[in-house]
Structure 1
Amino acid sequence: MNKQSAQKLPHVTTRRLHDMKSEGEKISMLTAYDYTTARILDRAGVDVILVGDSASNVFAGHNTTLPITIDQMIYHARAVVRGVQAETSRAMVVIDMPFMSYQLSSEEALRNAGKIMKENECDAVKIEGGNVIVDTVKRITDVGIPVMGHLGLIPQSIYKFGSYKVRAREEQEAEELLRDAKLLEEAGAFALVLEKIPADLAAEVTASISIPTIGIGAGGACDGQVLVINDMLGLSTEFHPRFVRRYAELDRVIFDAVSRYVDDVRGGTFPGEDESY
């Protein structure tokens, strides 16, 4: 999608995502953490930009998503929202609520969700978990804040799981996940991310609820797909799970460009006459 055609399209809303599911139109979602990337994603026609707590890993270098704070998430969110507004303003912007910003109580979760929504012009928040957060989701959505859910492998609970292996392979956990998906829908969630679960289970969940499912390592039957931008662009070369398709090898492109720059500076060929005043 070019910039001119994207400008003719309205801003993506929760209603639009619901219609896309009903019409069988797939939803594209990618993460972004900065102004420049958000501009490119919006111009390229991405439907949803997730300001993911994966910024803790790929932006700040932590081993897990747990260390990032709500104020740090808001900082990234502001940059992303400005990037979208600078282009077509089409993409929906969803912000991850970070670890311990919603787990203590529904009231604290509501305050923090409100803080996120008030301090930047994002469209929704995303929360990880099933049955234990249903009341929290209802509390937040009841005041008009859209919530995207997240089931399956939930990175904020990685120390509980003990690994990044596929979730819900066993019948009991699969049944629980299907039940949680329905509960989150009833609580008011407008969409669900399904991460690293069997494709047949993701297909069953997708067919069982009226809200869109966004898969990551969950097969092609989901209503949409999401990837971490650093993974799909080949910037994070040390992390290459099965579900990631690399659309570029920017690690090598950037390395080669920087190496040439260093050589030119050291060799005295940069700047040249045309690059000087």
Structure 2
Amino acid sequence: MSVLIVIPARYASSRYPGKPLAALRGAGGGSRSLIERSWRAAREVQGIDRIVVATDDDRIRKAAEGFGADVVMTSEHCRNGTERCAEAHQVLGASHEIVVNLQGDAPLTPSWFIEDLVAALKADPEAQLATPVLRCDGKTLSDLLADRRAGRVGGTTAVFGAQGNALYFSKEVIPFLPDSYGPADPTPVFHHVGVYAYRADVLASYPQWQTGPLERLEGLEQLRFLENGRRIACVEVEARDRLFWELNNPEDIPKIEAMMAEMGME
């Protein structure tokens, strides 16, 4: 099955304008933009037929072409990254069977997260899309809770059923942790990693659906699939000692740079 990775990137973010061009320093002190680091992460993935950056902004296009990326220009009316992926796939002739959405704010995404996603989708013909979830360790859970206490919209959490099908995603920390929960217990909270692997047909349908109330409230694009009765396979992935965080706010830059330094990422 042919696989396309699309890295959607827009400049006019309400929370963080110009985020794709934000500079991140690596372990050796060298600086690369967020979009370039996301593109480099995509290039580490095995079994991919093509990688493109999808944007509606000439500044991002010029930057991406400058470091060698293949760029697809899309409409400024795309409401989120999934719609931008759908449009990019159509522009390219809708010729791939699986489309991966590697959002441009996730440069620390390990290659095996995406490889596991694609493998899960190929193995389960009933799943229409797949997304990775990572069991929180104590530090990540504390960071998520700290963001909420500070009034920041940070990472997303996911809950899913016994068969791995998504029940809900939220910017709140779910499920609720009772007072009896102890820090030595395995955390029941799963960090949702904002990567998706879609079958081409369900991706093509997505822009035709209206934005539902849950998607509007949470600001989470994947909830449109759940609100329209589509099955999302949550694929539990392993960190393998890799640190993971997404760049949601300017305050995340030093956190991600410190993680890159700890892992020796240039």
> TM class by shorter-chain length?
under 0.3
Instruction: Tell me which protein shows more strand as a share of its residues.
Output: 2
Structure-1-length-normalised TM-score = 0.23
Relative contact order, CA 8 A, sep 6+: which one is greater? Answer: 2
How does the TM-score come out when normalised to structure 2?
A: 0.24
Q: Which has the larger radius of gyration?
A: 1
